[in-house]
Amino acid sequence: MKGFQLINNNGLIGFISTQTWQTGENYNDFRKKIITQYGIREIINLPYDVFKDAYVDTGIFIFSKKPEAFYNFHGFNKKNKIESINNLQFEKVNLSEINKDNYKLIYDSNLHKTYQRFHNEKCIDLGEISISTQGLSSSRFKEINGNKNKWTLPFIKATVRRYSFLQEDKYFVDLENMQSLIKFYIQNEKILIRRIINRQDRIDATYFAEEGVFKKDLNPFIITNKDFKTKYVLGLINSSLFSWLYINSSSIATKDDFRQTTLAELRKLPIRIIDFNNKAEKSLHDSIVHLVETMLQLQKEKQQTTLPDKLNQLEARIKYTDDKINQLVFELYGLSEEERRIVEGV
């Protein structure tokens, strides 16, 4: 903030920095101060690999001494190769549209309108109906080979993909010094969300109901509100709509070197509240739960199958079922045909 003290009321500050401050949860106060006390004049988000010795997500930012009503934005495709930033096409972003809860800078007008529409009386944040934590580092534990006690749980090393859980190793560890975390790892229904965003720009999550401690890249979410079934919420999280919402509202999720989710942002995902007295809503809910159960079974069968013809059949059924879930989620959230095409990138 020292720069703002050095310029006069008509002065501008320009610099190059990482893009993380635009959406990162740790920068809420910074964004609020910049937007309410000072001003943003221009943002240019650059592609990857602009600097040979620093492979990071960077941007050019112009700030003003006085608050602005809007700012100009241009975002390059992440994989573009550029030699100049002359003659850019800018989009005007009205600061009146910024979410005052977190002051995130979201530039896609379609995303902004859609996202705002979901944060209403028909939706509730995932964090309000669940408890969650980050997985634990395996290096914090020693394997127990002898007597076990009530604090002893299996540490499970596994790979999680959408509706898929592939166990790689399991051994027992002692959580007596971490008793507050036991509730996340005992035998109960939970959603495991993979920390890393996959290369198809999708969130990976699956269902798990056994006891077990998980590594750092698997974050357990336990639904605590009995009005929401775990498999219903899992279907929403694994839908193309939720991946689109998340990817386009988080700069951390689009980093090229370590694309990831954060607990704080996952907890803000808008979960549709179901009116079970409404036959249409109940039918959509029940269909999503049924299809999620089908997906979990299909993925389990796929893991156990080696025959090429059988694998092809399973993959076709998985794609069909996944597409069906996506369409039901679109319908549940009231997306128009145009909005569906935008989410699906067609």
| Tens-place pLDDT, residues 137-155 | 877 777 777 677 788 888 9
Residues 67 and 146 in one domain: no
35 pLDDT higher than 60: yes
Residues 277 and 323 in one domain: yes
- Res 55: pLDDT: 60
Residue with tokens 């739960």: 289
Residues 203 and 271 in one domain: yes
Residues 89 and 212 in one domain: no
pLDDT in tens, 219-259: 999 999 999 999 999 999 999 999 998 887 776 656 555 67
Q: Which two tokens stand for residue 54?
A: 């620093």
Residues 247 and 281 in one domain: yes
Residues 244 and 278 in one domain: yes
Residues 54 and 159 in one domain: no
Is 121 part of any domain?
Answer: no
Is 154 part of any domain?
Answer: yes
| 157 within 8 A of 139, measured Cβ to Cβ | no
Q: What is the mean pLDDT of residues 71-98?
A: 81
Q: What's 198's DSSP letter? A: P
- Res 105: pLDDT: 79
Q: Which band of pLDDT confidence, cut at 50, 70 and 90, is reported for residue 194?
A: very high
Residues 211 and 328 in one domain: yes
Domain that holds residue 163: 127-344
Percent of the chain topping pLDDT 70: 91
Is 85 part of any domain?
Answer: yes
Residues 102 and 208 in one domain: no
CATH classification of the domain holding 35:
3.40.50.150
Domain boundary among 107, 139, 169: 107
Q: From edge to edge, which strands make up the β-sheet containing 58-64?
A: 12-18, 58-64, 39-45, 70-75, 91-94
* 80 vs 61: which has the higher pLDDT: 61
Q: Which two tokens stand for residue 53?
A: 């010795």
- Total domains, the chain: 2
102 pLDDT higher than 90: no
pLDDT in tens, 108-142: 666 666 767 777 779 999 999 999 998 888 777 77
Residues 312 and 167 in one domain: yes
